[in-house]
Structure 1
């Protein structure tokens, strides 16, 4: 095991916190920034749709470049600086073209930062025995803090501060990664580049498993797209809606806090089973939650539906993908989640217009299908995990 400085895990936690602080400002509040610039709702939808498609394509490609050049830290630094440059375009006067360039450019160039950060954190956990989940939870903390800050600044007169803080978060991500040590190559990788067909990317079993890993996260599509609209349609106050979102993130943080101990008792497929079963309960009961207490109880399940699904997926990829290509593997997972979530959003939108309950029933059905598929996939996953650990 390679000895790294004792505070490396703290710096990796700071890397996640800085990245997710920027993401927590960008995701909820930049549509407002666009609206303040006179961009119409239809144009905002076009920008976000085009940016999402481009981001899904960019994540594995840009992550793979970092892996091929063996420059993960430098890549995160460069991508962060360029991302700050794109957001800086909002300081310039301009309309749809300038705003679209800034938004789409930022979404594309920032796409590989999370998979590359995950890859670095997983390597740190493997090399030092650090707890990946405890490092990753600070990303959730950063996201919540950004939500709170953005909520205070979500007015036309202070929108420039949202832009400034997003730029600062992007630059801080780059500066933090500069403080991280270079990780040594794992010369013990059993899947060498010199062995044709040895890479999991060249094997058929990998791609259905990758799709399955993405499916468990994609069961959140209806909630991410229409959860707030659904709650507002049944007259839940905006303040309570904010509390409900916060409960979900706190539950996620709580799971990350204890996940290291859980992983000693349960293997990654068990985390996925837990996520799938929790999703069946959460989304199946979502339309029946008529009280704040009931809604809050279902939000607690976010710790499993998101947190357990994330931990199980990244752990599986960390065990079956060679260390050198771990950034590419995590980038492919991000793409799998993105593609299936986009499909889920599109279908959920059509169903929501017919009946606001239907999208959540669809998510419960998707989770059930995922659990059934996992029954057949788990032996394959465990066999390949065992092969790597042998």
Structure 2
């Protein structure tokens, strides 16, 4: 590890914390803000689903531009500041079309910040030996802090302050990224294999079904992200308690990230994803049956697996098969895969929720069954591809 390693670790951790503080307000409570602005369930699903669909179109382009120019830090800065501008416009907008346009634009420009931050953090991990999961857990900590604050702001009188804090988090993300040094993309002990198009997995057939599957595990959260807070509110759960429920889930995620480095030495990324799928089957299948705070909290603990294990498994697979030169593009494609499926999931969940508030969660449990079985079937091939890539790198 070079001498600047610890200082870089702290700043990368701060980058994740600032970014996820805004996400921790937006993700659970923005549907409430939309409802307070007069949107119904179908309109909320349409706005969120359309925003994610447009992220699908923009994310690969925006992350690939960053990789081609080699300016990840400046790309993160530009996208974060644009997101802040559109959140400010949303705060001042009136009427469904203007509200929708500002919200969707915020979602589009905020989206590439995370895959580019992940790519930067993976470079830091390679160059300094830092533990990616331990840096990433500070993003989860920022998310928890925002959950607890947002639980008090998800009201008619407090929602404006929530929007201000979301915009401030974007500006803080830009400020932190300016303090980060440029990372050299290298491997210790040997040169990285040439990473021109022929040696990347993007042009291979096997990569794309695997990418779809990696995105599916995160997309099973679509019903919860879109309607979890509204579901709890409709069942009489207090706003402060809802904030704690979101926080419990992310605390479980932090706990996993804390020990993930040790687990990764014993279990390969595919097993992380299989564990995530099994947990999702249980979590979403029992979600409508939980009628006490304790039972709801118990299911939220599974978020450490349904999100945390799925994220670490997906990132690890991509890090092993995609050259670091194109890590931003690889992470952007993962975000696109998640986005396509999340967009579909949110839109469908909106219609299912309008018909039966329990139906979206049962649907996510069934989808998790499909994803888990598919991951089990593809695990031998994924392991083979990771081994082949490692062998090429050591050749």
Once the 2 structures are TM-superposed, how far is the Cα of residue 303 of structure 1 from its aligned partner? 0.5
- Please report the TM-score for the alignment, with normalisation by the length of structure 2: 0.89
1:6 partner SS: helix
Once the 2 structures are TM-superposed, how far is the Cα of residue 7 of structure 1 from its aligned partner? 1.4
Match status 1:127 vs 2:127: yes
Q: Which whole-Å CA distance do the structure 1 matches of 2:204 and 2:168 have between them?
A: 42
* Distance verdict in 2 for CA 1:24–1:298, change over 3 Å: closer
2:245: which partner in 1?
244
1:284: which partner in 2?
285
1:166 partner SS: helix
2:59: which partner in 1?
59
Once the 2 structures are TM-superposed, how far is the Cα of residue 333 of structure 1 from its aligned partner? 0.7
Deviations 1:312-370 (A, max 9, x none): 00110011011011111111111111211222233334444554443333222222211
* Distance verdict in 2 for CA 1:4–1:318, change over 3 Å: farther
> Which aligned runs of 4 or more in structure 1 are off by greater than 6 angstroms?
none
Match status 1:148 vs 2:148: yes
Contact 1:214–1:336 (CA under 8 A) maintained in structure 2: yes
1:21: which partner in 2?
21
Once the 2 structures are TM-superposed, how far is the Cα of residue 22 of structure 1 from its aligned partner? 1.8
1:189: which partner in 2?
192
- Please report the TM-score for the alignment, with normalisation by the length of structure 1: 0.90
Q: Which whole-Å CA distance do the structure 2 matches of 1:100 and 1:355 have between them?
A: 25
Alignment map for 1:237-276 (pairs within 5 Å) = 237-276=238-277
Structure 1 stretch displaced more, 217-226 or 260-269: 217-226
Once the 2 structures are TM-superposed, how far is the Cα of residue 385 of structure 1 from its aligned partner? 1.1
Contact 1:251–1:303 (CA under 8 A) maintained in structure 2: yes
* Distance verdict in 2 for CA 1:139–1:206, change over 3 Å: same
Once the 2 structures are TM-superposed, how far is the Cα of residue 190 of structure 1 from its aligned partner? 2.3
Contact 1:3–1:127 (CA under 8 A) maintained in structure 2: no
Any unmatched runs of 5+ in structure 2?
none
* Distance verdict in 2 for CA 1:244–1:39, change over 3 Å: closer
Structure 1 stretch displaced more, 43-52 or 205-214: 43-52
Contact 1:320–1:388 (CA under 8 A) maintained in structure 2: yes
Structure 1 stretch displaced more, 220-229 or 361-370: 220-229
Contact 2:5–2:128 (CA under 8 A) maintained in structure 1: no
Structure 1 stretch displaced more, 41-50 or 198-207: 41-50
Contact 1:197–1:203 (CA under 8 A) maintained in structure 2: no
* Distance verdict in 2 for CA 1:354–1:381, change over 3 Å: same
1:304: which partner in 2?
305
Contact 2:77–2:175 (CA under 8 A) maintained in structure 1: yes
Once the 2 structures are TM-superposed, how far is the Cα of residue 33 of structure 1 from its aligned partner? 5.3
2:209: which partner in 1?
208
Q: Which whole-Å CA distance do the structure 2 matches of 1:320 and 1:5 have between them?
A: 25
Once the 2 structures are TM-superposed, how far is the Cα of residue 255 of structure 1 from its aligned partner? 0.7
1:293: which partner in 2?
294
* Distance verdict in 2 for CA 1:95–1:234, change over 3 Å: closer
Match status 1:388 vs 2:351: no
Number of aligned residue pairs: give it.
387
1:338: which partner in 2?
339
Aligned CA RMSD, in angstroms, stands at 2.6
Contact 2:152–2:239 (CA under 8 A) maintained in structure 1: no
